[in-house]
């Protein structure tokens, strides 16, 4: 197999590295005279990209040249802060082992080029003139008169892709309907971007990022290593323009200077404005930001990737990282194709099409979601809609983890080179990469909603026969109540104490931020007054729908706010034992039903207020953000203590009168049991709980018989808590599964037939290395020339022969 790569940018050089490590013959054609020109561009690299670079041996040079982002600031158009600085970025490094880093694009290009072993296969000043598509292969003709042959052509040549144009031309000669006119006109621009690199400004710190939100305008400023500044100024065009139209803007240096002078007043910080960045500029460029997600990425033996097939806006920094992932996915398919075909037989068109189709199928969902997210983020920064305004000025200030959660979701299911060992650094995080989770792999909210139908049905039937806790609450505080009636009411009080404790703990969990579960106090109040039979199932339905198992991929998302969690036990002891003390003391609290109703309505809010006071008075000096970074199990002792104490009290009451229960008890215990079964089903589906349903239900029934149903439910919830804290999804890329130099193909068994045996025989997974650890002679071809179709096309001096 031989691959002709067109384009020597980040995607092209990454592809060259991946093919060399796969021992796949290739030639790279770059139209520029340098592989690492300084064109004023910067790039933000995600942990997913750094993991791939680590596999290729290019990561350390990049890490040495950059600093991870540490702090994000979000500003209004006047430079004032929308909310306190966002300190969550280090959490990404804690989760994935690599931080989000920004640096000169030139440095990344140089690092990738330096990682290539046989540099003679990378050729400069090679501008493609024409591609000839044949049944047995392809020929790429360059403007300097040279020709390069191969089995496939891969276009990594950016938004102005010559390979894409040639692919469209070739397809139109055979099947004019393959690429429709609508497809050809997909690329448009709605925003311009003036970007550049500047010298440091006094008082600014490495790793700081500033976002500015304004109607039709936005700014992104990153302070990199040594204070070097990477900046972007975005401005909405009067109307969208098509890429191939005469109206598509092509800006000059004078246009950039005029824009900078006109908009220089715009602040990005309380100290500095755009004009300060411009004054200290090193390089700059003004462009229209193209956007397009093409439907077809390949035809015959030609494929495009990166900006040539999915061009994104720059606000989120997704484009370059998506291209790197697409390259890795393509390398995986080409390596699989190489391992399953004879080296002496040319690849057939059907074999190539099958490999390209598998590549696209692997990438389509993830790319589509990433592209849409990038477009949404661009519009949100430009405050295009009322929803954007609400999100920026009202949601973000109350959800510091919102942006981190979006980044995490985008990283979880990232591509990796499946035929190379996973780097040790990628195992250090608290959120293992997982190809079955993240962007494009989200669990269906509709399906989860269907699972809640039993709960919603229970709520509906309870609505038909309304009840409340007024009667049992009155019984608890009545000295004239019979012993049996009071015991029943007290049993229900202990049950609600256990269940409400779980609600309060869930309300302070990181995974439940910005969901209705945070309003547990409100749900408790409604449960008291409208009846647990109506409200409890609704609460559980909200929880289940908004808590898919992928939310817990980062272990810190299971974490609760320890300061509040420690207050749950004293609050629930007060809730449970005060009636007992009043009964023992013979104290009578005469209240009519109206007074009881108001007590039930307001009591949960009083609990919430007392929790707040306890936290403020220093019952805990822990910080949930620091716990997320340093100790993701900090809350487990408090949770365990709370559940054990409350279920012990419930068990003692059950032992004292095992046949006595309040008629309302099933209305809160039964929906809780269904909720727990749904949560356990999630654990089993994710492979995090390997016990059989028979074992699980038998254990639950046994505990219920011995200690009572409330105790069984409380301990069942605690069991789930411990599983979340200690177990990983079955597809998580962890050291336990992948350590010791194992590859994805080897562990998952998804590689070519015989791959595992080959790895064992060679002692390594890198087919591009010989036994002495050096790069071999390109699939057995002579080192002085690469033989393709029986003749040497490219000598190692880089000249055409």
Q: What DSSP state is assigned to residue 477?
A: T
Q: Tell me the HSE value of 156 on the side-chain side, using a 13 A CA sphere.
A: 29
Residues 546 and 577 in one domain: yes
Mean pLDDT, the chain, whole residue set: 88
Q: Per residue in 13-33, pLDDT tens?
A: 999 999 999 999 999 999 999
pLDDT (average), residues 728-734: 92
Residues 363 and 471 in one domain: no
Which residues share a beta bridge with 83? none
Residues 492 and 360 in one domain: no
Residues 623 and 570 in one domain: yes
Residue after which a domain boundary falls, among 375, 398, 427: 427
Which residues share a beta bridge with 122? 28
Token readout for 272 is: 């500095």
Question: What's the alpha-carbon Rg for the chain, to the nearest Å?
Answer: 31
Q: How many of the other CB atoms lie within 10 Å of CB of 287? A: 18
Confirm whether 779 is domain-assigned. Answer: no
Residues 384 and 529 in one domain: no
What are the angstrom distances between the C-alpha of 684 and each of 509, 556, 692, 723?
22, 21, 9, 11
34-67: string of b/e by CB count within 10 Å (b at 16+)?
A: ebbeeebbbbbbbbbbbbbbbbbbbbebbbebbb
Token readout for 744 is: 């994805």
Q: Assess contact for 269 and 79: CB atoms under 8 A.
A: yes
Confidence band, pLDDT 50/70/90 cuts, at residue 627: confident
pLDDT (average), residues 625-646: 91
- pLDDT score of 150: 95
Q: Assess contact for 537 and 461: CB atoms under 8 A.
A: no
Q: Write phi, then psi, for 304 (nearest 5 degrees).
A: -120, 155
Confirm whether 399 is domain-assigned. Answer: yes
Confirm whether 145 is domain-assigned. Answer: yes
Residues 479 and 335 in one domain: no
How far apart are the C-alpha atoms of 532 and 459, rounded to whole Å?
Answer: 9
Q: What DSSP state is assigned to residue 73?
A: E
Residues 279 and 369 in one domain: yes
Residues sharing a CB contact under 8 Å with residue 332, sequence separation 6 or more, in sequence order = 359, 362, 415, 417, 418, 419
Q: Tell me the HSE value of 528 on the side-chain side, using a 13 A CA sphere.
A: 22
Residues 516 and 377 in one domain: no
What is the distance of C-alpha 176 from the center of its chain? 39
pLDDT at 155 over 90: yes
Please report, for the chain, how many H helices and E strands are present, in that order.
Answer: 29, 20
Percent of the chain scoring above 70 in pLDDT: 92
Confirm whether 529 is domain-assigned. Answer: yes
Q: Which of 359, 365, 381, 364 is nearest to 221 (CA)?
A: 381
Q: Which of 340, 325, 2 is nearest to 154 (CA)?
A: 2
- pLDDT score of 769: 38
Q: Which of 491, 518, 486 is nearest to 399 (CA)?
A: 518
- pLDDT score of 801: 31
Residues 269 and 363 in one domain: yes
How far apart are the C-alpha atoms of 501 and 567, rounded to whole Å?
Answer: 10
**DSSP 3-state assignment of 708?**
coil
Confirm whether 99 is domain-assigned. Answer: yes
Q: Write phi, then psi, for 35 (nearest 5 degrees).
A: -85, -20
Q: Assess contact for 593 and 663: CB atoms under 8 A.
A: no
Which has more confidence, 471 or 188? 188
Confidence band, pLDDT 50/70/90 cuts, at residue 777: very low
Residues 369 and 500 in one domain: no
What are the angstrom distances between the C-alpha of 392 and each of 75, 93, 190, 588?
10, 25, 21, 53
Residue after which a domain boundary falls, among 381, 397, 427: 427
Confirm whether 777 is domain-assigned. Answer: no
Angle subtended by helix axes 47-56 and 89-96, to nearest 10 = 40
Residues sharing a CB contact under 8 Å with residue 176, sequence separation 6 or more, in sequence order = none
Confidence band, pLDDT 50/70/90 cuts, at residue 400: low
**DSSP 3-state assignment of 800?**
strand
pLDDT (average), residues 476-483: 75
- pLDDT score of 40: 67
How far apart are the C-alpha atoms of 132 and 137, rounded to whole Å?
Answer: 9
Confidence band, pLDDT 50/70/90 cuts, at residue 779: very low
pLDDT at 182 over 70: yes
Q: What DSSP state is assigned to residue 216?
A: T
Residues sharing a CB contact under 8 Å with residue 605, sequence separation 6 or more, in sequence order = 521, 525
Confidence band, pLDDT 50/70/90 cuts, at residue 335: very high
Q: Write phi, then psi, for 331 (nearest 5 degrees).
A: -60, -40
pLDDT at 441 over 90: no
- pLDDT score of 88: 80
Token readout for 485 is: 């009636």
Token readout for 580 is: 């007992």
How far apart are the C-alpha atoms of 437 and 414, rounded to whole Å?
Answer: 9
- pLDDT score of 767: 42
Confirm whether 439 is domain-assigned. Answer: no
- pLDDT score of 763: 56
Q: Write phi, then psi, for 607 (nearest 5 degrees).
A: -60, -45
Burial of 389 (0-12, 13-18, 19+ CB in 10 A): middle
Percent of the chain scoring above 90 in pLDDT: 63
Q: Assess contact for 149 and 298: CB atoms under 8 A.
A: no
Q: Specify the DSSP element, H or E, that contains 104.
A: strand 101-104
Confidence band, pLDDT 50/70/90 cuts, at residue 470: confident
Residues 192 and 244 in one domain: yes
pLDDT at 74 over 80: yes
Residue after which a domain boundary falls, among 726, 751, 782: 726
How far apart are the C-alpha atoms of 799 and 797, rounded to whole Å?
Answer: 6
pLDDT at 222 over 80: yes
DSSP line for 646-682:
HHHHHHHHHHHSTT---TTHHHHHHHHHHHHHHHHHH
Which of 390-404, 536-550, 638-652, 779-793 is the least confident region? 779-793
- Owner of token pair 């105790």: 711
| The total number of structural domains that make up the chain | 2
Burial of 221 (0-12, 13-18, 19+ CB in 10 A): buried
Token readout for 471 is: 């009667």
Which residues share a beta bridge with 608? none
How far apart are the C-alpha atoms of 304 and 161, rounded to whole Å?
Answer: 8
Q: How many of the other CB atoms lie within 10 Å of CB of 391? A: 17
Residues 409 and 451 in one domain: no
How far apart are the C-alpha atoms of 556 and 631, rounded to whole Å?
Answer: 8
Token readout for 352 is: 């190539």
Confidence band, pLDDT 50/70/90 cuts, at residue 593: confident
Q: Assess contact for 10 and 43: CB atoms under 8 A.
A: yes
- pLDDT score of 353: 94
Residues sharing a CB contact under 8 Å with residue 567, sequence separation 6 or more, in sequence order = 610, 611, 614, 615, 619
Provide the sign of the torsion angle of the four alpha carbons 617, 619, 623, 624, taken in this order.
negative
How far apart are the C-alpha atoms of 192 and 236, rounded to whole Å?
Answer: 6
How far apart are the C-alpha atoms of 395 and 405, rounded to whole Å?
Answer: 13
Confirm whether 748 is domain-assigned. Answer: no
Q: Which domain holds residue 47?
A: 2-427
Which CATH number do you get for residue 271? 3.50.50.60
Q: Per residue in 282-298, pLDDT tens?
A: 999 999 999 999 999 99
Q: Per residue in 194-219, pLDDT tens?
A: 999 999 999 898 989 999 999 999 99
Burial of 346 (0-12, 13-18, 19+ CB in 10 A): middle
């Amino acid at each position: 197999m031989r691959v002709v790569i067109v384009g020597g940018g980040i995607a092209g050089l990454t592809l060259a590295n991946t093919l060399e490590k796969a021992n796949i013959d290739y030639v790279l054609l770059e139209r520029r005279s340098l592989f690492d020109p300084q064109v004023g561009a910067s790039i933000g690299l995600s942990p997913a990209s750094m993991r791939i670079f680590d596999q290729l041996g290019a990561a350390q040079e990049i890490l040495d040249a950059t600093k991870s982002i540490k702090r994000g600031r979000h500003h209004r158009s006047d430079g004032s802060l929308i909310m306190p600085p966002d300190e969550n970025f280090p959490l990404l490094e804690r989760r994935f082992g690599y931080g989000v880093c920004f640096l000169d694009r030139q440095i990344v290009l140089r690092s990738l080029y330096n990682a290539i072993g046989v540099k003679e296969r990378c050729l400069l000043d090679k501008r493609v003139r024409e591609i000839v598509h044949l049944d047995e292969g392809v020929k790429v003709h360059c403007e300097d008169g040279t020709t390069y042959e191969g089995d496939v052509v891969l276009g990594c040549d950016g938004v102005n892709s010559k390979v894409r144009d040639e692919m469209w031309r070739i397809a139109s000669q055979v099947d004019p309907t393959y690429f429709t006119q609508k497809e050809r006109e997909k690329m448009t621009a709605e925003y311009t971007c003036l970007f550049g690199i500047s010298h440091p400004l006094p008082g600014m710190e490495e790793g700081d990022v500033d976002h500015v939100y304004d109607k039709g305008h936005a700014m992104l400023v990153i302070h990199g290593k040594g204070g070097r500044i990477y900046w972007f100024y975005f401005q909405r065009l009067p109307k969208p323009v098509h890429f191939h139209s005469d109206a598509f803007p092509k800006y000059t240096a004078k246009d950039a200077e005029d824009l900078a002078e006109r908009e220089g007043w715009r602040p990005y910080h309380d100290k500095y404005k755009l004009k300060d960045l411009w004054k200290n500029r090193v390089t700059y460029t003004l462009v229209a930001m193209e956007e397009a997600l093409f439907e077809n990425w390949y035809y015959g033996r030609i494929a495009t990737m990166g900006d040539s097939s999915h061009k994104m806006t720059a606000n989120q920094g997704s484009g370059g990282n998506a291209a790197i992932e697409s390259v890795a996915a393509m390398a995986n398919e080409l390596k699989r194709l190489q391992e399953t075909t004879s080296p002496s037989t040319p690849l057939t068109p059907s074999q190539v099409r099958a490999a390209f189709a598998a590549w696209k199928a692997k990438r389509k969902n993830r790319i589509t979601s990433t592209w849409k997210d990038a477009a949404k983020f661009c519009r949100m920064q430009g405050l295009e809609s009322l929803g954007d305004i609400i999100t920026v000025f009202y949601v973000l200030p109350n959800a510091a983890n919102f942006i981190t959660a979006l980044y995490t979701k985008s990283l979880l299911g990232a591509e990796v080179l499946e035929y190379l060992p996973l780097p040790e650094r990628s195992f250090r995080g608290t959120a293992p990469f997982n190809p079955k989770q993240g962007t494009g792999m989200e669990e269906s909210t509709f399906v989860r909603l269907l699972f809640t139908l039993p709960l919603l049905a229970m709520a509906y039937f309870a609505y038909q026969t309304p009840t409340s806790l007024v009667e049992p609450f009155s019984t608890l505080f009545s000295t004239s109540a019979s012993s049996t009636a009071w015991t029943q009411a007290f049993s229900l009080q202990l049950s609600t104490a256990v269940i409400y404790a779980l609600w309060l703990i869930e309300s302070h969990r990181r995974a439940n931020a910005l969901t209705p579960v945070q309003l547990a106090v409100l749900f408790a109040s409604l449960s008291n007054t409208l009846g647990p039979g109506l409200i409890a199932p609704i609460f559980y339905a909200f929880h289940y729908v908004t808590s898919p198992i992928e939310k817990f991929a980062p272990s810190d998302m299971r974490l609760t706010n320890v300061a509040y969690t420690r207050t749950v036990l004293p609050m629930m002891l007060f809730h449970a034992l005060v009636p007992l003390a009043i009964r023992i003391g013979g104290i009578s609290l005469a209240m009519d039903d109206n007074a009881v109703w108001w007590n039930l309505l307001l009591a949960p809010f009083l609990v919430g207020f007392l929790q707040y006071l306890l936290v403020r008075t220093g019952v805990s000096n822990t910080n949930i953000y620091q716990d997320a970074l340093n100790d993701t199990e900090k809350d487990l002792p408090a949770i365990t203590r709370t559940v054990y104490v409350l279920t012990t009290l419930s068990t003692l009451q059950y032992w004292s009168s095992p046949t006595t229960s309040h008629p309302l008890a099933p209305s809160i215990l039964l929906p809780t049991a269904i909720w727990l079964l749904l949560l356990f089903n999630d654990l089993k589906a994710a492979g995090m709980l390997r016990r059989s349903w028979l074992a699980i239900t038998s254990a639950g029934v046994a505990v219920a018989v011995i200690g009572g149903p409330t105790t069984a439910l409380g301990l069942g919830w605690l069991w789930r808590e411990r599983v979340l804290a200690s177990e990983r999804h079955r597809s998580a890329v962890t050291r336990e599964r992948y350590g010791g130099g194992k590859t994805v193909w080897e562990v998952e068994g998804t590689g070519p037939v015989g791959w595992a045996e080959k790895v064992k025989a060679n002692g390594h997974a890198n087919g591009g290395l010989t036994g002495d650890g050096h790069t071999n002679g390109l699939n057995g071809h002579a080192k002085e020339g690469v033989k393709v179709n029986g003749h040497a096309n490219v000598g190692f001096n880089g000249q055409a022969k």
